[in-house]
A and B are shown apart, each in its own frame.
Chain A
C-alpha cells in the first residue's frame, strides 16, 4: 500500500499528542494500523527505539475511543517480565492522561495485591497488562468466560522471547482459550528483528496473517578490545584484560558490562573493585539478587547515578536506559541475536549507532567474537527454532481447565490442537494426560477412590473436579519456570538474595564466598535461611549456578568455521592469534568450512583423539559420552573425555585406529538411551516435568520441605516409575525434553549423518596448537552421579583405613 498518499493515523486520537511531542508516525505504525483495522492478526518486527509498544496500542486506543465508554476488558497486553509490565503502564499513562482519554488500564502480575486482583475481577479495566502466568491463572477462575468474552485485542510483547521454551506452550494454550471465549479476538505480536519471521507469524496469527517489518539501517559499532596483554589459551574470566576494561569504563559516561554467568558477574565485579582507584560507582546485577537490590541498581541506572553495571542476561530486556553509552561484552557472544539484544541496550536512538566492545576470554572466543561482528555486518541473524509443545504443560492446562469448571474432553482437545505447538498432539497422548491429572495415570489402577477429576456418569466425555480445594493446589503450581532449589541469604536481618542449595551444602562454617559483590562468611543454615556476616578474607569461593550454560548458536558456529578457514584474514588479527593459527596450519591443518578435523597424538602415557565439531557444548558433551562407549567396543580402553563449544578430546590407553568407523550415525542410535540413563539428565528433567504437570508440588517459600527433599523424592518417583512403568507419559515427556534441550539431538544427528565423508584425519607426534585450549580443560571428572557417590565413599573409607593402620603401627 502507498503510505505516503494518506496517513490514516493523522486522524488518530493520539495524533494530537504526537504533534505536541514533535514526533511523527513510523511507517510500520501506519501499516500495522491499517492491517489490524481490516481484520488481520499481525506480527510487527522492529528494533528498540522504534515505538514498538505504542504500535501495539494504536488500534486498541482508536477502537476504545470510537466505542465510547466501553465497559469491561477490551485489550490484553502480555509482557515477558513483571518489571516490563510496570514500565508499560508508565509509558501508557503519559498520552492517556495528557489527552484526558476515557480509558482505564491496570497491571496484574504476581506482585499485585489480592485486594487489587479481586477488584479487577469485579470491575475489569479496559486494558490489562499482565504476564503469561497471570493469564493462565485468570483462565482458571470460574468466571473466566465472562471476564474475557468481550476482549477485542491481545498484544504479545517481545514475542521472540517466548517462541522456543515451555512458556510459549503455556501462552499458546491460553491464547486459544480466550479466543474460544471471544471468537472475534485479534492478535498483535511485537518482536525484535528475527531471521525466520514466518515462523513467528505461524505461531501467533490465525486471521489473514500479516508481517510488518521495520529494519534499522544504522548498524551498531562493535569492536574487539585491543589488548596488549596475552589472550589466555583457555578460561572464562578475562582477568588478563581487567585494567583495559577499567580504562574503557572511565572513557564513557555509563557502561554496562555483560557477562554470561552469574559467577562471572561476581568475579568481574570483585576484580574491578580491587583496581577501582578512581572510586567509580560500579554495581552488579543478576537474577539471584534480591528483588529490592536489583530494583535499586535499575533505578540508579536509569537516573544515571552509576558509572558501570556488571550484569548477566537479567538486564537484557526491560526498561530503556537512555544514558547507557557503551556495552562491553565479556566472554563469547554465543549467538548473533543475543549479542544484538545486548548491544542494543546502549543508545536508544535510532539514528545513532550503538557502541560495543567485545572482550574474548580465550583464543577461540576471539575467533567467535570476530565472526559475530562479521555476521552482524551482514545482518545474518540466528534462527529461533520453534519447539514442539511439551506434554507437561498440557497436563497443567487440563488441571487449570478443570479448576474453571467442568469440561468436555473433545472440545478441549480441539481447542488445544489449534495452538501451533500442539498441532500434532495425538488424541491418545492427550487422553493419557487427562489420566495423569485424574490419578497419576498409572497402569496399575490403585487410586480409583482418590481421583482429582472424574467423569460424569451421564456423559463420559465430561470431566469435573472432585473437590474445589484442589484449585488452590493448581494456583500454587502454575507456570513453567522451575528454579533449582535455592536458599535465602541473610546478612543480619537483610536479605541479599538466593543461592543454590548445592553450593551452600559444600561450605563449612567459616568458609567465605562472594555474593552481591561482597565477601561473606558462612555462619549457619537454619530453616532454609543462610546466615552470613561480612568477611575480610582474601580467599573466597564464587558460587556456581547450574544451568548457566548458553548454547553456541548453529549460525554463529558455522560462521566461526568459515572464518577460521579464511587465512587471508589472519594478518589483521593480534599477533598471538595469527601465530597460533599459522603454527596450527604448519603442524596439522586448519579445517575448511565443511570439514571435520580429527587429530590423534600420544601424550604422556596416553593416546589422545581431538575432534573439532563446532557443535556447541551440549552436542559435544553427548558425542563425548557416545564415543567413550564406541571406543570401549573397539577395545581402545578409553579413560575419559572433555567437551567445550568447539571440540571434544578423548584419551585412551590404546591407539584408536578405527575412528572413521566409530564416528557415524550408528553411534547415536546405539548408545543414546544408555547415555541418558547413566547421566541422570532425564532424571533431572523428570523433576521439572513432575512439577509442571502438578504430579508433585512446587516448593514455595515457607514450606518445611527443603529443595533437596523435593529433588530426593522426585528421584525416588523416577526410579520406581522407570522400573515398573517405563512407558509412562511423564517419562516419555522427560525423554523428549532431554532430546530437545539437553543433548541437542537434532543438531548432533545432522552432523553425524554426513560426517564420515568429511573427516580429515591427522596423525601427529604431539599436541597441536589448536588442541591446547581443550587439553587445558581436562580437569573435570566425567563420572555419573552414581559413580561419584561410590567413588567418594570408597575414597573416604580408604583414607580412614590408612589412618587407622598408621595409628596401630605407632
Chain B
C-alpha cells in the first residue's frame, strides 16, 4: 500500500489512502470516526440509507489489520454512531473482531457519539497516552502532542479554475487530526471556524486523500 510519510512531534507516521495512520516504531495503527451503524440510526428517522456501511468499514479495517499486523489499534473516538448502531453489528462481526483482538490490542477512545455505549469484550477509555503523545477524540489543553479525530477534516482546493473538496489529514505543530474512516460520513472544511479554533489557520500541514495515494500540499 502506498503511504505518505508525515513527520509529527519528531516521529514518523504513515498516512494511508484508506484514511488510517500508522506509527511504525510502536507498531500502532490509528483510525478515527468510523461511525459504525450510521445508516441504522438514520433509519429511525425514516431516512433509509443503504445498510452496508458497517460491513464495508469493518472489511476495510480488517484488510489493514491483515496487511500491517499492528500490535495496537487505537480508535480515536466515534467508533459507533449512536446507541442504535450496535444493531448493525452482526454475530459474525463480533466473532471477527474478537479474533483480531487475539493479536492486536484494541484501544477504544470514547467520542461524543459513543460515550454511553458499550460493546461486549471491548475495553475503552477517554484518552490514552504513549510517551509525549496523547490520543483523544477532541483536543484538550495539554503540553503533549495530540492525535485526534472528531472534525472529519476536508480541504477545498482551487487550482487552474477548478475547485474540489478532498478528505484530508491535517496537523499543526502540536495537534494532528485524522479524517473519518467511515463511508457515509461527511466532512468539514479545515478553514471552518470549528477547526481553525483548534488548529489556527497558519502553518498547517495538509495531506489530501486521493484515489490510491495521499498527497502533500
Contacts and interface: CB of A to CB of B under 8 A. Distances in A.
Given A709-B186, A720-B183, 18 more contacts: A441-B48, A446-B40, A447-B43, A450-B44, A450-B46, A508-B158, A696-B47, A720-B53, A723-B56, A725-B50, A789-B164, A789-B166, A793-B164, A793-B166, A793-B210, A796-B157, A797-B216, A800-B217
Contacts of B50: 440, 442, 717, 720-721, 724-725, 728
B52 A720 contact: yes
Contacts of A473: 46
A796 B217 contact: yes
A654 B39 CA distance: 50
Interface in B184-207: 184, 186-187
B121 interface: no
Contacts, number: 108
B46 A708 contact: no
A439 B43 contact: yes
A439 B184 contact: no
B160 interface: yes
Contacts of A502: 163
Interface string A428-447: 00000000000111101011
Contact of B162 (A441, A788, A797): A788
A792 to B, nearest CB: 5
B211 interface: yes
Contacts of A723: 52, 56
A116 B54 CA distance: 48
A447 B157 CA distance: 38
Contacts of B161: 506
Contacts of B160: 792, 795
Closest 3 A/B residue pairs (Cβ): A440-B48, A446-B51, A724-B52
A697 interface: yes
Interface residues of A, number: 42
B57 to A, nearest CB: 10
Contacts of B216: 797, 800
Secondary structure dominating the interface of A: helix
Nearest to B55: A724
Given A447-B40, A712-B186, A797 B217 contact: yes
A160 to B, nearest CB: 37
A508 to B, nearest CB: 7
A717 B183 CA distance: 9
B165 interface: yes
B92 to A, nearest CB: 13
A720 B157 contact: no
Contacts of B53: 720
Given A792-B157, A796-B157, A713 B184 contact: yes
A728 B39 CA distance: 17
A801 B186 CA distance: 30
B186 A452 contact: no
A792 B211 CA distance: 12
Contacts of B56: 720, 723-724
A708 B40 contact: no
Contacts of A712: 165, 186-187
B159 interface: yes
A713 B40 CA distance: 15
Given A792-B164, A793-B166, A793-B210, A447 B51 contact: yes
